Amino acid sequence: MATAVVVPGSISATSEKEKYETKVQKLVSAHHYIKHPLQNKWALWFFKNDKSKTWQSNLRLISKFDTVEDFWALYNHIQVSSNLMSGCDYSLFKDGIEPMWEDELNRRGGRWLITLSKQQRKMDLDRFWLETLLCLVGEAFDEHSDEVCGAVINVRAKGDKIAIWTTDYENREAITHIGRVYKARLGVPLKVIIGYQSHADTATKSSSTTKNKFVA
């Protein structure tokens, strides 16, 4: 049986050099393949209005992501909101928060509500929703971004709605900051007033409008 003869020095020097070069190569290419992490992990949900089922069972988790690249991969893979059937919703929420009033982090919260006219579906709906998503994943509300739970888009024949949900309807400072920044990011004219309503009021409303706790 033949035995391999290892000449000390020569082979190990070559393999050390190879190891070093491989390490350098890996570092250089890491720059190209490491995805850019987001501050938070997010979950995208879809709601399809099947009247034979309960509201909660019509809600489905699509997928979760925590990098810039995976956000765009998902966004580019799904239908734009204006192509959805009336009665459908998308919701983007921080991982661990369910997109419903009942979640512990939504129970005492509320939403900045953007109501759109029927004509705005063509002009504004998709770009407003994308801007809303970018506000969330980009943590656009400075030190108050922690107050954000998620955002919802309702595609409705009577007029579409987009909202950012926050966790505490008593946190005036955070809510007013978020409202001001959000309105500016969407390019809503100053003279157009948007309202913030608590989920408690929305869930128990008897008339068609819920009273505003704050306006921006």
Count of residues in the chain: 216
d(CA 30, CA 17): 20
Residues 115-134 that bind ligand MGP (CB under 6 A): none
Distance in angstroms (rounded) separating the CA atoms of residues 83 and 75:
14
Q: Which stretch binds ligand MGP (CB under 6 A): 15-23, 96-104, 115-123, 164-172?
A: 96-104
Residue 194 CB neighbour total at 10 angstroms: 19
Phi, psi torsion values for 86, nearest 5 degrees:
-60, 140
Number of shown-chain residues binding ligand MGP (CB under 6 A): 7
Sheet holding 214-215, edge to edge: 59-67, 37-47, 89-94, 148-154, 161-166, 110-115, 195-198, 214-215
Which residue from 46, 75, 101, 214 is in contact with ligand MGP, where contact means CB under 6 A? Answer: 101
Angular region, 139: left φ>0, alpha ψ -120 to 50, beta rest? left
Beta strands 59-67 and 89-94 are unpaired
Name the segment binding ligand MGP (CB under 6 A); options: 37-45, 65-73, 99-107, 176-184: 99-107
Q: How far is the CB of 113 from ligand MGP (least distance, A)?
A: 10
**Considering the complex, what minimum distance in angstroms separates the CB of residue 118 from ligand MGP?**
13
Cα–Cα distance, 186 to 133 (Å, whole number): 11
Amino acid at 167: T
Residue nearest to ligand MGP (CB): 100
The correct pick among 156, 171, 200, 213 for binding ligand MGP (CB under 6 A) is 156
Stretches 14-22, 37-45, 98-106, 170-178: which one binds ligand MGP (CB under 6 A)?
A: 98-106
Question: Can residue 94 be called a binding residue for ligand MGP (CB under 6 A)?
Answer: no
Among 5, 7, 30, 55, binds ligand MGP (CB under 6 A): 55
Of the residues 44, 97, 100, 174, which one makes contact with ligand MGP according to CB under 6 A: 100
DSSP conformation class of 124: I
Query: Which residues are at the interface with ligand MGP (CB under 6 A)?
Result: 55-56, 100-102, 154, 156
